[in-house]
């Protein structure tokens, strides 16, 4: 009788740590979770974060606080997350800027985004759209390409700043078409100058210029995703005319490296479930975004590929930050 009893106690003791781990995973989160955003409130990433985090907050029963920490092209927010405790209570709503900055800022960064964060969940994709002032004599991408080739260096292309997604989407277009456009970088809104015709083309977030397009004040030639946007179903993709072109803005959640796997599992399951909710889908559609669920492995692979892609564009176009 003693041997079975001893064996029982050994098995029970061995099971205790695992039971503790399960209990801890099930209890997460026990306090508010902070989601850092590297842009100002009201921007695309901020809106995407608020939409999906409200759903996840309701599901997990804890508040998800959106902390907007703009500056240095999202690097301030990213650095804060990298240096946070790896316990799941400080997360980053990552974006395309994180992939771009790896090359754009290079050695200026105090962290390595791929090395120092753990992918949690892909959330959304948001195509940009190629928009022109109506004075430009082009109503299609082929017509614009022909017009630009006949007028090298005479067409101004607005951007949202050096190294922004708007800038890089334009740079990718130039690299694939061989066109010569003059990039004009804006710290604030480029929309007034687009309407006035001082700049003639921009690769703009849909939400930024869709009302002007609908009013006929600007003309949308194409969207930058590899499929047409539900917000603009009659507008073709650039890839229909420029093979291989794709430049969507993405959003996804990452955590500090070494965050426990059980915590990441909880977050992944919650965020992924939210992406199939009708209210979340509708709210994302309001800013031209579509849910984009991935496995964590696929999300990690995507992050690496997107970082490499924009690195090639930046180096080929010799894009550098001004000191």
In this predicted structure, what is the pLDDT of residue 202? 98
In this predicted structure, what is the pLDDT of residue 26? 57
| 6 against 66, higher pLDDT | 66
Q: Minimal CA–CA distance to 173: which of 227, 237, 231, 121?
A: 237
Q: Minimal CA–CA distance to 247: which of 57, 96, 53, 49?
A: 96
In this predicted structure, what is the pLDDT of residue 231? 87
**Topology at the third CATH level for domain 128-240:** D-Maltodextrin-Binding Protein; domain 2 (3.40.190)
> Where in the chain are the domains?
23-126+249-317, 128-240
CATH superfamily assigned to domain 23-126+249-317: Bordetella uptake gene, domain 1 (3.40.190.150)
What integer is the mean pLDDT of 111-138? Answer: 97
Q: How far is C-alpha 121 from the geometric centre of its chain's CA atoms?
A: 12
What integer is the mean pLDDT of 28-46? Answer: 95
What integer is the mean pLDDT of 112-137? Answer: 97
Q: What is the pLDDT of residues 64-104, one digit of tens each?
A: 999 999 999 999 999 999 999 999 999 999 999 999 999 99
What integer is the mean pLDDT of 103-123? Answer: 97
Q: What is the pLDDT of residues 193-222, one digit of tens each?
A: 999 999 999 999 998 999 999 999 999 999
Q: Do domains 23-126+249-317 and 128-240 have the same CATH topology?
A: yes
Q: Which residue stretches of the chain are H helix?
A: 2-27, 44-60, 75-82, 96-104, 113-116, 141-150, 165-177, 191-196, 206-214, 261-274, 278-285, 296-317
């Amino acid at each position: 009788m003693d041997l079975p009893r001893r064996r029982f106690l050994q098995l029970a003791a061995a099971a205790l740590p695992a039971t503790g781990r399960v209990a801890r995973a099930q209890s997460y989160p026990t306090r508010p979770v902070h989601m850092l955003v590297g842009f100002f409130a009201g921007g695309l990433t901020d809106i995407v974060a608020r939409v999906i985090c409200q759903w996840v907050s309701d599901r997990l029963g804890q508040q998800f606080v959106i902390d907007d920490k703009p500056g240095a092209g999202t690097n301030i927010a990213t650095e804060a997350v990298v240096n946070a405790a790896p316990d799941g209570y400080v997360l980053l709503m990552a974006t395309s800027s994180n992939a771009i900055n790896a090359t754009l800022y290079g050695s200026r960064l105090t962290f390595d985004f791929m090395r120092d964060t753990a992918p949690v969940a892909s959330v959304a994709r948001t195509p940009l759209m190629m928009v022109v002032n109506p004075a430009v004599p082009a109503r299609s991408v082929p017509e614009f390409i022909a017009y630009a080739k006949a007028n090298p260096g005479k067409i101004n292309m607005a951007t949202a700043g050096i190294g922004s997604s708007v800038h890089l989407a334009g740079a990718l277009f130039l690299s694939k078409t061989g066109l010569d456009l003059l990039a004009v970088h804006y710290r604030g809104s480029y929309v007034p100058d687009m309407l006035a015709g001082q700049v003639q083309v921009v690769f703009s977030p849909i939400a930024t210029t869709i009302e002007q397009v609908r009013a006929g004040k600007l003309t949308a030639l194409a969207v930058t995703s590899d499929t047409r946007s539900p917000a603009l179903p009659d507008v073709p993709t650039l890839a229909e005319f420029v093979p291989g072109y794709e430049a969507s803005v993405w959003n996804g959640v990452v955590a500090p490296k070494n965050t426990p796997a059980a915590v990441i599992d909880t977050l992944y399951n919650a965020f992924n479930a939210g992406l199939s909710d009708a209210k979340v889908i509708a709210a994302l559609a309001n800013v031209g975004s579509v849910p984009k669920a991935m496995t964590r492995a696929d999300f990690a692979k995507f992050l690496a590929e997107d970082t490499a892609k924009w690195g090639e564009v930046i180096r080929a176009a010799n894009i550098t930050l001004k000191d």
